[in-house]
Structure 1
Amino acid sequence: MRAGLALGLTVCLAVAQAAPLTVCTEAAPDGFDIAQSESAVTVDAVGNTIFDQLLMYKRGTTEFVPGLARAWRLSADGLQLTLELRPGVKFHSTPWFTPTREMNADDVLFSFQRMADAKSPWQAVAKGGFLMWHGTGMGDAIKAVEKVDAMTVRLQLKQPNALMQTLLANQFNSSVYSAEYGAQLLKAGKPELINTQPVGTGPFVFKSYQKDAVLRLSTHPGYWGSKPQFDQLVVAITPDANVRVQRLKAGECLIGANMRGETLGGFDGTAVKVQSEVGLLTGYIALNTQRKFLSDKRFRQALALSFNKASYIQSVYGGRALPAASFLPPSQWSHDKGLSSRFDVEQAKALVKASGYDGTELTIFTRIGGSIDGRRAAELMQADWAKIGVKVRVQMMEWGEMLRRTGAGEHDITFLNWAGDGDPDSFVNPNLSCDGVSAGNNKSRWCNKAFDALLAKARAHSDQGQRSQLYVQAQRMVAEEVPLIPTVYPQYFTAVNQRVRGFKSSPFADLDFRGVSLP
């Protein structure tokens, strides 16, 4: 039934406009205001399509290139960052908004201030808050945002911060919105529409969205950068991994995002080729340290010691992953090679007993769909922990619901992947800092002041060697305290039809269609 529905949907899409590039994704975006999100799925649908950032990355690399800021310079004392904006950048014209001018400094100020100002009317319509503004430390880094002139913005920093280029290339923090459109929505008393009727400067314009089914975007005719060489981008939301394979083989989808490793053999002898990327990606189990028993380090250590990573990698990833000992992946500078995983069921049993665990059933939250079989993965954890006397129940839910509920701390245990952006702080700060707890990114809800002090010290240094030493200390603290269990360094698979030209896999495990053509 589900396969039939998917096939029928594609026929309708094909009639709507000739020669679209149709992409199969595993989940729906959680909205279209990227600043409210923390979801990689939303980055694919919105962050690199509808919006541009002040700084960007050269496609397929971690190299910074000019984006909406064509140049930037840091003062000698490291406390002022001046951004020279790109002239001639046009916002999208849509049925709900017609811009009267090109992008300027007012738009950058609006984009930052709606996240930074706690009294802003935009705070009330951001249901979960501006998660990554706080979770990445962007909000703590900036003292003030100033308009120097129509095309120049100056950021006043609270202290020297080695992360500023990385933060200004982050889709969640640094996407630029139209101040004119914001004023129009406020005047109409409908600021919430920024999340359903988006307006950006990116290579694609929002056309329509059928919830949990299909997103339609058209190419932005006035785009300043490298234009995609096709008319329409269609995002077909296809949670079932096998249905994604069927649609790709049939040519109904030309790109398949975040494919499961066990399905890749289905493309042998077809026009579909698989691109793989190890990249800046780590799988992990988040243990809610604010919950009974999980607040005890000994109990968390027991769960880590009894988790069989070798079996997990074979059963869930088909062997296409490496066991993780650190939260930072091997491709991330400052990765601690000295850490190793231990598997010791007997010691785990002793730690469970010492913790005073009384047999209370814990709950694992996992998602429907995704790049792995969430139920199978959770049941393997359940079986491993049953061997040390820990009872666990598996609860399945949609991706958006899982993010919302784990952000609010309703879970005992959950597991996810995290993709960094080239700086180690992008792993540890959102997921392990005290700010990350209040922002909702830190699913372990672990707040350790000594750990936060290490991160702050690392951000203040410009020397990468000194920063690396501090991040190694941070990794060892995490290994001892076990707020989370690093599980795997997975490969990220993207299936691409040979008709698609110029697509490049990203080390950040996201999708970028700039410069892509479809003959």
Structure 2
Amino acid sequence: MKKAAVYSLLSLLACTPVQAAVLSVCLEGAPEIFNPQLTSSGTTATVLGQIYDGLVSVKKGGSEIEPALAESWTVSGDQRTYTFKLRKGVKWQSNKSFTPSRDFDADDVLFTFDRMMKPDHPYAKVNGGNFITFSTKLADALESVTKVDAQTVAFRLKQPLAPFVGIMAHQSLAITSAEYAEALAKAGAKDQFDRDPVGTGPFALQAYQTNAAVRLKPFAESWGALAGIAERTAKVDAAVLVISTDASVRLQRALAGECLISLYPNLADREIIAKNPNLEVVQTPVPSVGFITFNFKDETFKDQRVREALAHAIDMKPLVDVIYNGMGVVTGSIVPPALWGHDASVGAHPYDPAKAKALLAAAGFPNGLSTQLWAVPVSRPYMPNGRRAAEMIQANWAAIGVKAEIVTYEWGEYIKRSRAGEAKIGMFGGIYDFPDPSQIPNNYFTCDSSGKPSPSNIGAWCNAEFIGLMNSAGTISDQAERTALYKKAQAVFHREVPAVILGGADDITAVNKRVKNFIPAIFGASRLSGVTVE
């Protein structure tokens, strides 16, 4: 166990009275930023999901969309205008540099979306201005956001977008404070807006020790608490999220009682957790997909024969069996089996080293080639052990003359470098935040109308046929028609091999039996509100 992390946990716990109820959570990585708009990382969302709210959200532990900051919404007859009626009396949090003078209202919604929509907005380029989810899912679709009155906002789309309400439940589209932004602008401290958060959620940030721990305190005036909604109210005196990138360390802390909730333990450690009298294994069917993706800025990987060769050279079944500990399924589809729209007929590329060698030779590499293979450094449902997966792929490729150097970085740096297009062959993946097949394909494998890859499209694959099918599926509401289009898109993906699908599996969490009412999220990040400690 790393000393720095231990000291951080002790120092943060020391801030709490002895008899207080503290919920300690072992987190697999550090938050990269403290504004949800600037991230699509599930790890970061686990932290920020406690601090911020969106207009709508996915029901706790389910897949239904429910009201949050918007108490209701209506859709126009042409399916292009969504009008949200905002909740009254919602309080903003405060911090050492800001005390709000008003409640949440339509101005905050406009500020949040104007920042992402308008290139000349005062906050558009602050802290990089990379609005990942918005750029991928709404930038080309949203015509305008207008204030009807103080408690009503209308979103006008350029054309119907079937998953719009689901997209609005994505935690990256949480609402931020216009008044806070104005105060920081006057103080010449705009960058603080994304680093010292002010939200409306059940918890507020109390302290962050970089790469070590995050301490959250209850926000007593949150709208959930004021409305008496138990599952929207902080029920503990503090939540301490301890950053432990090593799954074995998270397990040991769970066994020792240091972390009452330990996220993403190794799937292979399921029995160890189950046999411990103080712990229970909570299994969650999380729709997710992991993959390795080829960099289309590299001439080598622009050749479809090279990509197909490397796909045929991976012995997928043993890889999935080992990495997902028998809980994964071999599939070549970008839409996972747990989600509607999945095409079961799209299988993994058959393991065929002889064919792989022939394809490489035809592409001009009769003696193989050298490249880099990046490995995800944290445990996620879509990739429980990135290093081991990379080693197995490396060994498979060596058999056909391909030398792959395994590269990895700390999680925040890994994401930053991947999105900068540095990975020759990158390992990435995603967890569905709302129940619609469009999310992961649109996030990771599409480009906007100008040909710019979405921020998470780390391989920069822009295929007009694939994008056209995805866009068409998003404009109609009939699920059967949408399914047919998604299946065609999956066939194009499989044919073109922009990436090799590695799989996904159910998630497990080690939860101390003293913890009550913790329900892991199926879509998005799990809430700590409503959770108690006995």
Q: What's the TM-score, normalizing by structure 2?
A: 0.93
Tell whether the 8 Å contact from 1:278 to 1:489 is kept in structure 2 after alignment.
no
| Counterpart pick for 1:365 among 374, 391, 414 | 374
Tell whether the 8 Å contact from 1:308 to 1:384 is kept in structure 2 after alignment.
yes
- Matching residue of 2:527: 512
Taking only aligned residues, the RMSD between alpha carbons, in angstroms, comes to: 1.6
2:242 counterpart of 1:236: yes
Tell whether the 8 Å contact from 2:370 to 2:404 is kept in structure 1 after alignment.
yes
- Matching residue of 2:517: 502
Distance 1:41 1:270 in 2: 28
Name the aligned partner's letter for residue 321 of structure 2: Q
Aligned residues: 515
- Matching residue of 2:207: 208
Tell whether the 8 Å contact from 1:502 to 1:516 is kept in structure 2 after alignment.
yes
**Are residues 395 and 240 of structure 1, via their aligned partners in 2, closer, same or farther at CA, if it must alter by over 3 Å?**
same
- Matching residue of 1:354: 362
Tell whether the 8 Å contact from 1:283 to 1:490 is kept in structure 2 after alignment.
no
Say which is worse superposed, 435-444 or 496-505, in terms of deviation. 435-444
Q: Give 1:397 shift.
A: 0.6
**Are residues 310 and 437 of structure 1, via their aligned partners in 2, closer, same or farther at CA, if it must alter by over 3 Å?**
farther
Structure 1, unmatched stretches of 5+, are: none
- Matching residue of 1:256: 262
| Counterpart pick for 2:426 among 414, 417, 440 | 414
Name the aligned partner's letter for residue 79 of structure 2: G
Secondary structure in 1 matching 2:162: coil
- Matching residue of 1:89: 90
Structure 2, unmatched stretches of 5+, are: 225-231
Q: Give 1:316 shift.
A: 2.2
- Matching residue of 2:34: 32
Distance 1:307 1:121 in 2: 49
Please list the CA deviations of residues 192-215 of structure 1 after superposition, one character each: whole Å capped at 9, or x if unmatched: 111210101011111111000011
Tell whether the 8 Å contact from 1:279 to 1:509 is kept in structure 2 after alignment.
no
- Matching residue of 2:78: 77
Please list the CA deviations of residues 334-385 of structure 1 after superposition, one character each: whole Å capped at 9, or x if unmatched: 1001112222111111111111136442111223332433222111111111
Please list the CA deviations of residues 16-69 of structure 1 after superposition, one character each: whole Å capped at 9, or x if unmatched: 2132111001110101011001211010011x2110010111101110111111
Please list the CA deviations of residues 164-183 of structure 1 after superposition, one character each: whole Å capped at 9, or x if unmatched: 1011111112x011110010
Tell whether the 8 Å contact from 1:306 to 1:388 is kept in structure 2 after alignment.
yes
Name the aligned partner's letter for residue 176 of structure 2: Y
Q: Give 1:7 shift.
A: 4.1
Please list the CA deviations of residues 463-487 of structure 1 after superposition, one character each: whole Å capped at 9, or x if unmatched: 1111110000000000000101111
Q: Give 1:120 shift.
A: 1.6
Secondary structure in 1 matching 2:518: coil
Distance 1:197 1:110 in 2: 18
| Counterpart pick for 1:21 among 17, 20, 23 | 23
Distance 2:327 2:80 in 1: 44
Distance 1:12 1:126 in 2: 29
The 5-angstrom pairing of residues 270-289 of structure 1 reads: 270-289=277-296
Q: Give 1:509 shift.
A: 5.8
- Matching residue of 1:385: 397
**Are residues 8 and 210 of structure 1, via their aligned partners in 2, closer, same or farther at CA, if it must alter by over 3 Å?**
closer
Q: Give 1:4 shift.
A: 5.0
2:352 counterpart of 1:344: yes
Secondary structure in 2 matching 1:367: coil
- Matching residue of 1:453: 468
Percent of aligned pairs with the same amino acid: 36
Q: What's the TM-score, normalizing by structure 1?
A: 0.96
Return structure 1 stretches of 4+ with deviation > 6 angstroms: none
- Matching residue of 1:157: 157
Distance 1:313 1:480 in 2: 21
Distance 2:99 2:67 in 1: 26
Q: Give 1:440 shift.
A: 1.8
